[in-house]
C-alpha cells in the first residue's frame, strides 16, 4: 500500500503525531502512568521498526544485559545492607521464634542466588514485593509516587528548554560578542549552583519573605515553599506549588542545554549552506530557527535523554525540600527506615525507565537524521 | 628517474597543506560575525577565580594553625546572630562561629572532591581508553557495566554504598572517596571512550601499528596524549560536581558525622531558621556556590584556551 | 569486467612480495551488512619493482594495501614476504617482520601524531625495535637480572591465559564478597540454584586464577624483598647503578618501609567492613606489583605505567595511614608525605627520562641522516610539531619515518593524492630517488593514472574489489585491454588546446560493495557487456605477451568465443 511506503520513507512526522496524540489522551483520560509509558515506548518502537527494523531489534535486545546487571547490582546492594528485615518488621523485642517464622514466610532464609532469582522472576511479572512497614505493595507505592516525580521532571524539562533554546540560538548568533559573554557567565552561574542551594534561595526570597538588610526587606512571599497539590485537585494551585521546585531544577539543566545547543549551532552556522541562505536574502531569524536549528540538535537530544532519566530519581533533595511526595523521597525513606525492598523496587523501575528512554532517544535519532536510516545504498564514500 | 629537484633546505612553518592560513577564519566574511579569538591571556575573571580557589585551599590546609575559633566552640547568648565584626559570617543555631565552620567544611569538600576526581580520572580514563581503543566485544562488555552504574539514581547509589561499606562513621571520609570514585567512573569513562574512538581512527595510530608497536604502547603513547588535554579541564568540572554531590550527601546526613562541619550539613541545619536567621544557610551555600563556580569557570577557560575546537560535553 | 585468478603471477622464487587470493570483508553499520572490499585479488612483486595499483575511490585498493600490512589481517588469502607467510604468523612474529615492510599514508598531517615532536615521531620505529629486542634497561644489580630472567619466563607462560582468567576470577571474588557481606554464611551456601554450574565452571577457573595469582604474588614478594619496588625501589635502582652496597641498603630499607605501612594500615582497620576495604587495598597493591614486575621485564616504556600504578597504590595506602591520625600530626605527616612523594616522583621521572634520553641520543644520528635524505633541514625540524609543516614537508617526514628501519618493501597508499600538483612532482621524485638509493620495492596505490604511469614498472587496475588488468604502463596507456582501463584513460584530460575536447561517456556510478553485481562486477557500466557477463565471472588470462586481463570480451586479443564484439555497444546487463 502506498501509505505504508510513505510511512516507511518518512516516519518522523508519523511518530511525532502519534506521540502527541498519546500525550493529549493521557492528559485527559489519566490512565496509570505505566500504561502511558509503555504506550509511548511501543509507538517509538514502531517508528523505529518502520525505519530500520534490524537496528531497532538489536537496540531493544541490547537492553536486556544492562537490566540484568542493574538488577543484580541493586539486589546485592540491598541484600548486603545492615539491618535485619525481620527485626525491622517485628520490632526490637522480637523473639527468635518469631524472627525465624518471618524469615521463612518472606523467604529470607534461602540462599542468596535463590532469592535473587525469585525476586527477578516476580519483578518481571510485575510483582515487586510488598512493604510491610508501609502496608502496601511496592508496585502501588511506585505508581503513587511516580506521578509527582514525572510531573516535576516534565515541568523542569519544559522550563529548561524554554530558557535554553532561545538563549542557545541567540548566543550562537552573537558568538564572541558582549551579549554572548554576559549570557554565558550568567548561565555558568546557574550551572554552578547546586540545585538544593538554588531551591533554598528561592524559598528564602520568594516564599518566606527574604532577608532584612538594615531597614529594608529584600524578598517576597508570593509562592508557596512546600507541599504538593495534585493536578486533579486544583490546576492553578498545582502549578503554583510546582513552579519553584521545577525552576530550581530547570535553571541548572538549562545551562547545560544551552551550552550544547550553542556549540553545535556555532558549528552549523559556519557551514556553507548558511551563507547560501543569507546570500539568497533569507531573514536571519528564519535561518536560525528553521534551517540551522534542526541539524544542531543532536548532541542536545542525547543529553536530554540523559536528563530525563536522571531527573526521575535524581531530584531527591528537591523533593525533600519542597515536600513533594515523589519517588526520590519514597526511596530515601526506604533507606532511612531500612525498608530495602522499597529501594529495590523503586530503583529497578527507575533504571528500566531510564534505559528505555535512552533507547527511545536513539530511535528518535533515526527519525530525525536521514543519514542513519539506510542499509545498503552507497552511503560509503571514497577512499578505495 | 632523475635527481631530486627543489630540495627544501630551509624549513619554515608553512601554510597548512589545505592552503588555508591559520588566521584565515578571522578574515572571511561569515553569517556570524565572530569576534576575534582572544589569543592573549586568560582574562581578569580567570585569575580572580584562581586566587579564590588557592586562598580557600590554603585556608583549608592550614585551618588548624590559623587564628580561627574552634569549630565546635559555642558562644552562648549570641545564638543566631548575623554577621558582625567578631563573627564574620555570623553564629549558627548551636552558637558556633559560622566562618570557622565553613573553613573546616572546606577541608572535607576539597579533600573528597580532589582525591575522588583524580582517582576517578585515572580509573575512568583507563576504562574509557580500553573500551574506545579495542572496540568490539570488549567495548560492549565495558559499556554494559558502566551504563548499569549510570542508570541507578546517583544519590540512592551513593547512600546505599555508604551504608554498605561502612555502617559506623569512623572511616567515612575514605568510604566517601571510594563511593564517589565508583560513581564517577561511568561518566568519565563515557567521555574518554568517545574521545578515544575518534582519535584511534586517525592514521598515525594505524602507522604505529604498522611499525609494530604493542597495543598498550599505542594507547598510552599515541592516543592518550591526544585525549588527555580535554580531560585536564574536565577534571576540574568533575571536582566541582563532586563537591555538589558531597553537599547532597551531607544534606541528608550521611557524610562525615558531627562534630566535623560539612557544608551540606550546615545548609541542612539552617533550614529550620531560614526565616529568622537566613545567614546560617546562606553563608555555607554562598561559599559552596562560589567554589563550584570558580572551578567550573577555570575549567572552562583552560579548555577554551587549549582546545578551542573540542567540546567535552 | 573484473574477475579473479592468478594467471598474472610470476614464478614463486623470483617474487619478493606475493599476495594470493586475498579476500577482505568486514561488517558495517548496525544492520549486519558485509562490505566485500577485496574479493580474490592476487599480486606479486619482484625485488626492485614498483607496482602501481589504480582504481576509483571505493575499489578496495587502500584496503588491499592495509591488508598486505596485516592491519587488519585479511579475511582469507595468503601474503608472503620473502617466502614468509604473514597471515599465519602470531603477533610477536609479525612484529619481527615490521621493519622490512613499511607504509606511507595518504593524509600527511594526520599520519603524524600532533602531540609529538618530529624527532620522536621519526625515531619511533627504531625505538620500538630496540625496546622489543632489548627488553628492560640494562641493570647492574645482580638480583635484578636474576629476577628479570625468572620473571620473563614465568610471565611469558602466565600472562596470556591471565587475560581470561583474571576477569573471571575477579567476578568470582566480587560475588564472594557480596554474598559474604549479605549474610554471615559461607559462599557455597549462597549459591542456591547456581551451585551446579558454578561448581562445574567457576571453581576450577577460580582455583587456577587464584593459584596463578598466588604464585605470582609469592614471586613478587621475593622480588619485593629484594627491593625492586616503588617508591624507594627505583631510588635503590638508581643508587645501585652508582654503588651496589648503597643500592642494596636502600632496597632493604624500602622493603621495610613498605611492609611497615601495610602492617600499620591493616591493623588500623576495624570492623566487618574492614575486610572489604582490605581486599580493595591489597588487591590494588598486588595487581600493581604484578603489573609492574611483568611490565618491567619487557620494556621501560610500559614500566612507566606500572610505576604510576604502583605510585597510586602507594598513595592510597598513605591516605589510609594518614587518615588514622589527627590534628597537627596529620598536617605534619601530610606535608612530609607530599614532600617525599614529590622527591620520589622526580627521581622516577629522571630515571625514566634517562632511559628516554639515552634512546634519543642513540637514535639521533640516524634521524638526522633520514631527514637530510628526504630534504628537510634537521636543525630546524627536529623539535617542531607536525602541524607546523606544509603538506609536502609532512609527507617527507612520513617517508623518512618509513625508511628509518631499512625496509625492503614500502606500500604507498595514495601518497600524493592530498597534495598540490606542484608538490606532487617533488614527492614523486623523492620516492624515485629513495627507491634507487635504498633498493626499495614499492606498491604505489593511486587513483590518478597519470601519476602511476611515471612511477610504476607494472600497473594493476582494480574495480570494486577485483583486478581488471595487469600490464606494463606504457602498453596499458597505449592500448588498454579492459573496458574499465579504457574508461579511466579517457577521463584523463589532455592538455592540448589544438585538439577538440572529447566527449567523455557518461558511465554511471560505482555500485555498492555490499551487494556487488553478479558475474563480472563492471558489467553495469560496461558498454560491451553481454549476458555472459552476468552469469560467469571472468578470470585473468594472458591476451598478449605480458598483458593480463580478466574480461570475456577484452579490447585486445580475442575473447573466448573468438569473435570480436567490441564494435556495436550494447548496454545490456544494466541492472
On chain A, the residues whose CB falls within 8 A of the CB of B313 are 256, 259-260, 299, 303
* pLDDT of amino acid C207: 53
Domains of chain B by start residue, with CATH: 53-69+90-306 (1.10.3720.10)
Asked whether the predicted pLDDT for residue C449 surpasses 80, the reply is yes
* pLDDT of amino acid A368: 66
Residues paired with residue C17 on neighbouring β-strands, in sequence order? C45, C81
Asked whether the predicted pLDDT for residue B99 surpasses 80, the reply is yes
On chain A, the residues whose CB falls within 8 A of the CB of C511 are 378
On chain A, the residues whose CB falls within 8 A of the CB of B155 are 313-314, 316-317, 328, 332
* Higher pLDDT pick, C38 / B307: C38
> Average per-residue pLDDT in chain C?
71
Residues near B273 by Cβ (< 8 Å), separated by ≥ 6?
Answer: B80, B93, B280, B281
* pLDDT of amino acid C307: 47
CATH topology for C15-115+385-574 is Rossmann fold (3.40.50)
pTM reported for the whole predicted model: 0.75
On whether the CB atoms of residues C466 and C40 are closer than 8 A, the answer is yes
On whether the CB atoms of residues A144 and A137 are closer than 8 A, the answer is no
The reply to whether A343 touches chain B by the CB within 8 Å rule is yes
On whether the CB atoms of residues B193 and B128 are closer than 8 A, the answer is yes
* Higher pLDDT pick, A372 / C79: C79
On chain B, the residues whose CB falls within 8 A of the CB of C302 are 214, 216-217, 220
* Arithmetic mean of pLDDT, A123-148: 78
Rounded Cα distance between C533 and C523, Å, is 6
> Average per-residue pLDDT in chain A?
76
**DSSP code per residue over C112-150:** S-TTS-HHHHHHHHHHHHHHHHH-SPP---HHHHHHHHH
- Cell triple for C330: 596529620
Asked whether the predicted pLDDT for residue C154 surpasses 50, the reply is yes
Longest dimension (CA), chain C: 102
Contacts 24+ apart (CB under 8 A), A198-201: A198/A248, A198/A251, A198/A252, A199/A244, A199/A245, A199/A248, A199/A317, A199/A318, A199/A321, A199/A322, A200/A321, A200/B267, A200/B271, A200/B274, A200/B281, A200/B285, A201/B282, A201/B285
Residues near B204 by Cβ (< 8 Å), separated by ≥ 6?
Answer: B222, C110, C111, C112, C113
CA torsion B217-B221-B222-B225 (nearest 10°) is 150
* pLDDT of amino acid C561: 45
Closest partner residue to B8 (CB to CB) among C312, C319, C375 is C375
The reply to whether A183 touches chain B by the CB within 8 Å rule is no
Identify each DSSP E strand in C33-135 by its residue range: 33-46, 50-54, 76-81, 84-85, 101-104
Closest partner residue to B252 (CB to CB) among A177, A332, A343 is A332
Whether residues A376 and C33 touch (CB distance < 8 A) is answered with yes
* pLDDT of amino acid C102: 93
* Higher pLDDT pick, B1 / C63: C63
Q: Considering only residues 248 to 307 of chain B, which have any Cβ-Cβ distance to chain C shorter than 8 Å?
A: none
For the stretch C168-187, pLDDT in tens is 555 655 665 565 555 555 55
Which residue in chain A has the smallest CA separation from C193? A114
Identify each DSSP E strand in C448-539 by its residue range: 458-463, 466-471
* Arithmetic mean of pLDDT, C153-161: 55
Confidence of residue B41 (pLDDT cuts 50, 70, 90): low
Considering only A59-68, A88-97, C229-238, which range has the smallest mean pLDDT? Answer: C229-238
Confidence of residue C89 (pLDDT cuts 50, 70, 90): confident
SS3 B60: helix
SS3 B90: coil
* Arithmetic mean of pLDDT, A171-198: 84
Q: What are phi and psi of A131, to 5 degrees?
A: -100, 115
Q: Which of A242-256, A351-365, C352-366 has the highest average model confidence (pLDDT)?
A: A242-256
Which residue in chain B has the smallest CA separation from A78? B160
* pLDDT of amino acid C240: 45
Confidence of residue C418 (pLDDT cuts 50, 70, 90): confident
Chain-centroid distance of CA B14 in Å reads 38
Question: To the nearest whole percent, how much of chain C has pLDDT over 70?
Answer: 54
The CA distance from A248 to the nearest CA of chain B, in Å, is: 14
Rounded Cα distance between A115 and A126, Å, is 16
SS3 C550: coil
Closest partner residue to B17 (CB to CB) among C101, C270, C418 is C418
* Arithmetic mean of pLDDT, B54-83: 80
Place of cell 567457576: C202
Task: Report domain extents, chain C.
Answer: 15-115+385-574, 137-356
Rounded Cα distance between A343 and A88, Å, is 15
Question: To the nearest whole percent, how much of chain C has pLDDT over 90?
Answer: 13
- Cell triple for C217: 604474588
The reply to whether A194 touches chain B by the CB within 8 Å rule is yes
* Arithmetic mean of pLDDT, C253-261: 54
* pLDDT of amino acid A150: 84
Rounded Cα distance between C32 and C73, Å, is 20
* pLDDT of amino acid C304: 45
For the stretch B131-181, pLDDT in tens is 999 888 888 888 888 888 888 888 888 888 777 766 555 567 777 887 888
For the stretch C452-471, pLDDT in tens is 888 899 999 998 888 888 98
* Higher pLDDT pick, A129 / B113: B113
On chain B, the residues whose CB falls within 8 A of the CB of C319 are 115, 174, 177
Confidence of residue B309 (pLDDT cuts 50, 70, 90): very low
The CA distance from B230 to the nearest CA of chain A, in Å, is: 16
Confidence of residue B55 (pLDDT cuts 50, 70, 90): very high
Confidence of residue C105 (pLDDT cuts 50, 70, 90): very high
Handedness of CA C389, C392, C398, C401 (dihedral sign): negative
C469: left (phi over 0), alpha (psi -120 to 50) or beta: beta
* Higher pLDDT pick, C356 / B204: B204
The reply to whether B144 touches chain C by the CB within 8 Å rule is no
On whether the CB atoms of residues C500 and C18 are closer than 8 A, the answer is no
For the stretch A355-382, pLDDT in tens is 888 887 777 776 666 665 554 322 222 2
* Arithmetic mean of pLDDT, B242-247: 88
* Higher pLDDT pick, C214 / C495: C495
Considering only A262-276, A336-350, B167-181, C9-23, which range has the smallest mean pLDDT? Answer: B167-181
Whether residues B153 and A209 touch (CB distance < 8 A) is answered with no
Neighbours of B10 (CB within 10 A): 8
The reply to whether A348 touches chain B by the CB within 8 Å rule is no
* pLDDT of amino acid C346: 61
* pLDDT of amino acid C402: 93
Neighbours of A208 (CB within 10 A): 16
Closest partner residue to B10 (CB to CB) among C106, C301, C377 is C377
Neighbours of A216 (CB within 10 A): 9
Asked whether the predicted pLDDT for residue C193 surpasses 70, the reply is no
Confidence of residue B291 (pLDDT cuts 50, 70, 90): very high
The reply to whether B11 touches chain C by the CB within 8 Å rule is yes
Question: What HEC string does chain A produce?
Answer: CHHHHHHHHCHHHHHHHHHHHHHHHHHHHCCCHHHHHHHHHHHHHHHHHHHHHHHHHHHHHHHHHHHHHHHHHHHHHHHHCCCCHHHHHHCCCCCHHHHHHHHHHHCCCCCHHHHHHHHHHHHHHCCCCEECCCCEEHHHHHHHHHHHHHHHHHHHHHHHHHHHHHHHHHHHHCCCCHHHHHHHHHHHHHHHCCHHHHHHHHHHHHHCCCEEECCEEECCCCCCCCCCCCCCCCHHHHHHHHHHHHHHHHHHHHHHHHHHHHHHHHHHHCCHHHHHHHHCCCCHHHHHHHHHCHHHHHHHHHHHHHHHHHHHHHCHHHHHHCCCCCHHHHHHHHHHCCCHHHHHHHHHHHHHHHHHHHHHHHHHHHHHCHHHCCCCCCCCCCCC
Considering only A126-140, A143-157, C250-264, C388-402, which range has the smallest mean pLDDT? Answer: C250-264
Rounded Cα distance between C379 and C367, Å, is 11
Amino acid at each position: 500500500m502506498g501509505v505504508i511506503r510513505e510511512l516507511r520513507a518518512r516516519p518522523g512526522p508519523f511518530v511525532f503525531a502519534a506521540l502527541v496524540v498519546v500525550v493529549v489522551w493521557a492528559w485527559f483520560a489519566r490512565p496509570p502512568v505505566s500504561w502511558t509509558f509503555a504506550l509511548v515506548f511501543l509507538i517509538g518502537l514502531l517508528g523505529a521498526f518502520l525505519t530500520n527494523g534490524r537496528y531497532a531489534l538489536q537496540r531493544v535486545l541490547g537492553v536486556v544485559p544492562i537490566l540484568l546487571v542493574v538488577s543484580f547490582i541493586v539486589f546485592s546492594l540491598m541484600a548486603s545492607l545492615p539491618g535485619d528485615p525481620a527485626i525491622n518488621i517485628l520490632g526490637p523485642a522480637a523473639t527468635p521464634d518469631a524472627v525465624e517464622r518471618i524469615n521463612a514466610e518472606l523467604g529470607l532464609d534461602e540462599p542468596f542466588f535463590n532469592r535473587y532469582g525469585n525476586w527477578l522472576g516476580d519483578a518481571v511479572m510485575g510483582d515487586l514485593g510488598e512493604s510491610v512497614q508501609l502496608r502496601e505493595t511496592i508496585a502501588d507505592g511506585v505508581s503513587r509516587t511516580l506521578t509527582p516525580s514525572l510531573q516535576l521532571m516534565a515541568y523542569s524539562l519544559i522550563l529548561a528548554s524554554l530558557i535554553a533554546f532561545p538563549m542557545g540560538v541567540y548566543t550562537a548568533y552573537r558568538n564572541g560578542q558582549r551579549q554572548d559573554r554576559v549570557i554565558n557567565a550568567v548561565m555558568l552561574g546557574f550551572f554552578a549552583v547546586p540545585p538544593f542551594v538554588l531551591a533554598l534561595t528561592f524559598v528564602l526570597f520568594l516564599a518566606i519573605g527574604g532577608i532584612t538588610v538594615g531597614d529594608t526587606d529584600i524578598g517576597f512571599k508570593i509562592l508557596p515553599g512546600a507541599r504538593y497539590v495534585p493536578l486533579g485537585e486544583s490546576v492553578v494551585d498545582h502549578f503554583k506549588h510546582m513552579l519553584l521546585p521545577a525552576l530550581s531544577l530547570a535553571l541548572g539543566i538549562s545551562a547545560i542545554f544551552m551550552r550544547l545547543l550553542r556549540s553545535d549551532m556555532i558549528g552549523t552556522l559556519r557551514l556553507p549552506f548558511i551563507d547560501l541562505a543569507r546570500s539568497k536574502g533569507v531573514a536571519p531569524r528564519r535561518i536560525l530557527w528553521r534551517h540551522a536549528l534542526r541539524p544542531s540538535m543532536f548532541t542536545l537530544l542525547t543529553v536530554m535523554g540523559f536528563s530525563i532519566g536522571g531527573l526521575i530519581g535524581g531530584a531527591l533533595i528537591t523533593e525533600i525540600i519542597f515536600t513533594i511526595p515523589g519517588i526520590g523521597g519514597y526511596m530515601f525513606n526506604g533507606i532511612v527506615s531500612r525498608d530495602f525492598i522499597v529501594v529495590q523496587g523503586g530503583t529497578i523501575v527507575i533504571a528500566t525507565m531510564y534505559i528505555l528512554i535512552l533507547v527511545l532517544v536513539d530511535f528518535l535519532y533515526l527519525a530525525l537524521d536521514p543519514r542513519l536510516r539506510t542499509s545498503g545504498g552507497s552511503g560509503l564514500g571514497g577512499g578505495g | 628517474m632523475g635527481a631530486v629537484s627543489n630540495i627544501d633546505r630551509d624549513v619554515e612553518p608553512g601554510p597548512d597543506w589545505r592552503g588555508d592560513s591559520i588566521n584565515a577564519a578571522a578574515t572571511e566574511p561569515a553569517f556570524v560575525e565572530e569576534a576575534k579569538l582572544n589569543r592573549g591571556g586568560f582574562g581578569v575573571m580567570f585569575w580572580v577565580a584562581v586566587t579564590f580557589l588557592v586562598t580557600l585551599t590554603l585556608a583549608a590546609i592550614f585551618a588548624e594553625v590559623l587564628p580561627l575559633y574552634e569549630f565546635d566552640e559555642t558562644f552562648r547568648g549570641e545564638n543566631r546572630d548575623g554577621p558582625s565584626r567578631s563573627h564574620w559570617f555570623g553564629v549558627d543555631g548551636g552558637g558556633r562561629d559560622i566562618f570557622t565552620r565553613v573553613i573546616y567544611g572546606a577541608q572535607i569538600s576539597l579533600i573528597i572532591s580532589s582525591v575522588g576526581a583524580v582517582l576517578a580520572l585515572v580509573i575512568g580514563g583507563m576504562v574509557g581508553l580500553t573500551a574506545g581503543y579495542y572496540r568490539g566485544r570488549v567495548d560492549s562488555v565495558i559499556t554494559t557495566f558502566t551504563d548499569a552504574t549510570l542508570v541507578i539514581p546517583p544519590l540512592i547509589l551513593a547512600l546505599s554504598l555508604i551504608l554498605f561499606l561502612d555502617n559506623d562513621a569512623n572511616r567515612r571520609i575514605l568510604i566517601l572517596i571510594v563511593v564517589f570514585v565508583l560513581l564517577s567512573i561511568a561518566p568519565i569513562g563515557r567521555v574518554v571512550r568517545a574521545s578515544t574512538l575518534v582519535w584511534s581512527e586517525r592514521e598515525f595510530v594505524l602507522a604505529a601499528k604498522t611499525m609494530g608497536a604493542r597495543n598498550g604502547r599505542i594507547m598510552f603513547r599515541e592516543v592518550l596524549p591526544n585525549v588527555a588535554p580535554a580531560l585536564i579541564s574536565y577534571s576540574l568540572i568533575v571536582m566541582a560536581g563532586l563537591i555538589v554531590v558531597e553537599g547532597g550527601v551531607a544534606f541528608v546526613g550521611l557524610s562525615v558525622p558531627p562534630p566535623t562541619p560539612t557544608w551540606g550539613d550546615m545548609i541542612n541545619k539552617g533550614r529550620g531558621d531560614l526565616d529568622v536567621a537566613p545567614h546560617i544557610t546562606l553563608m555555607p551555600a554562598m561559599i559552596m556556590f562560589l567554589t563550584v563556580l570558580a572551578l567550573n569557570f577555570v575549567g572552562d577557560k583552560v579548555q577554551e584556551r587549549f582546545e578551542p575546537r573540542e567540546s567535552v560535553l | 569486467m573484473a574477475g579473479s585468478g592468478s594467471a598474472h603471477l610470476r614464478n614463486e622464487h623470483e617474487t619478493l612480495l606475493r599476495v594470493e587470493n586475498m579476500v577482505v570483508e568486514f561488517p558495517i553499520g548496525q544492520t549486519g551488512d558485509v562490505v566485500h572490499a577485496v574479493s580474490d585479488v592476487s599480486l606479486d612483486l619482484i625485488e626492485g619493482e614498483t607496482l602501481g595499483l589504480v582504481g576509483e575511490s571505493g575499489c578496495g585498493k587502500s584496503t588491499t594495501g592495509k591488508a598486505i600490512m596485516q592491519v587488519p589481517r585479511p579475511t582469507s588469502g595468503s601474503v608472503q614476504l620473502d617466502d614468509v607467510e604473514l597471515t599465519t604468523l602470531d603477533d610477536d612474529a609479525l612484529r619481527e617482520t615490521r621493519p622490512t615492510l613499511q607504509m606511507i599514508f595518504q593524509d600527511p598531517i594526520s599520519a603524524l601524531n600532533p602531540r609529538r615532536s618530529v624527532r620522536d615521531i621519526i625515531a619511533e620505529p627504531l625505538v620500538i625495535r630496540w625496546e622489543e629486542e632489548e627488553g628492560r634497561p640494562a641493570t647492574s644489580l645482580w638480583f635484578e637480572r636474576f629476577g628479570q630472567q625468572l620473571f620473563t619466563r614465568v610471565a611469558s607462560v602466565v600472562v596470556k591465559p591471565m587475560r581470561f582468567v583474571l576477569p573471571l576470577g575477579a567476578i568470582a571474588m566480587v560475588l564472594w564478597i557480596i554474598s559474604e557481606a549479605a549474610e554471615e554464611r559461607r559462599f557455597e551456601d549462597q549459591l542456591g540454584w547456581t551451585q551446579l554450574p558454578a561448581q562445574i565452571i567457576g571453581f576450577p577457573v577460580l582455583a587456577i586464577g587464584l593459584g596463578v595469582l598466588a604464585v605470582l604474588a609469592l614471586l613478587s614478594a621475593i622480588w619485593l624483598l629484594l627491593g625492586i619496588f616503588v617508591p624507594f625501589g627505583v631510588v635503590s635502582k638508581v643508587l645501585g647503578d652508582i654503588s651496589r652496597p648503597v643500592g642494596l641498603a636502600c632496597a632493604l630499607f624500602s622493603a621495610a618501609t613498605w611492609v611497615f605501612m601495610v602492617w600499620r594500615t591493616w591493623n588500623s582497620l576495624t570492623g566487618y567492613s574492614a575486610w572489604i576495604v582490605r581486599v580493595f587495598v591489597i588487591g590494588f597493591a598486588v595487581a600493581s606489583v604484578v603489573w609492574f614486575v611483568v611490565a618491567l621485564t619487557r620494556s621501560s616504556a610500559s614500566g612507566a605505567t606500572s610505576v604510576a600504578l604502583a605510585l597510586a597504590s602507594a598513595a592510597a595506602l598513605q591516605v589510609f595511614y594518614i587518615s588514622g591520625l589527627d590534628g597537627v600530626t596529620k598536617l605534619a605527616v601530610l606535608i612530609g608525605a607530599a614532600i617525599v612523594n614529590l622527591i620520589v616522583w622526580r627521581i622516577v621521572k629522571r630515571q625514566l627520562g634517562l632511559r628516554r634520553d639515552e634512546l634519543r641520543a642513540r637514535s639521533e644520528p640516524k634521524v638526522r641522516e633520514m631527514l637530510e635524505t628526504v630534504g628537510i633541514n634537521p636543525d630546524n625540524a627536529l623539535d617542531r610539531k607536525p602541524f607546523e609543516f606544509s603538506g609536502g614537508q609532512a609527507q617527507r617526514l612520513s617517508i623518512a619515518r618509513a625508511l628509518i628501519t631499512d625496509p625492503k618493501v614500502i606500500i604507498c597508499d595514495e601518497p600524493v593524492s592530498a597534495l598540490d600538483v606542484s608538490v606532487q612532482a617533488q614527492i614523486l621524485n623523492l620516492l624515485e630517488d629513495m627507491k634507487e638509493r635504498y633498493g626499495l620495492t614499492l606498491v604505489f596505490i593511486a587513483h590518478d593514472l597519470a601519476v602511476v604511469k611515471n612511477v610504476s614498472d607494472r600497473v594493476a587496475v582494480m574495480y570494486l574489489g577485483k583486478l581488471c588488468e595487469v600490464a606494463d604502463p606504457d602498453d596499458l596507456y597505449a592500448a588498454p585491454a579492459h573496458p574499465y582501463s579504457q574508461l579511466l584513460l579517457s577521463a584523463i584530460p589532455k592538455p592540448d588546446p589544438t585538439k577538440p575536447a572529447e566527449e567523455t561517456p557518461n558511465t554511471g556510478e560505482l555500485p555498492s560493495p555490499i551487494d556487488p553485481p553478479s558475474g563480472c562486477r563492471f558489467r553495469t557500466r560496461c558498454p560491451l557487456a553481454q549476458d555472459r557477463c552476468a552469469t560467469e565471472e571472468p578470470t585473468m588470462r594472458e591476451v598478449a605477451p605480458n598483458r593480463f586481463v580478466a574480461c570475456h570480451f577484452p579490447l585486445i586479443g580475442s575473447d573466448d568465443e573468438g569473435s570480436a564484439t567490441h564494435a556495436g555497444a550494447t548496454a545490456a546487463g544494466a541492472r
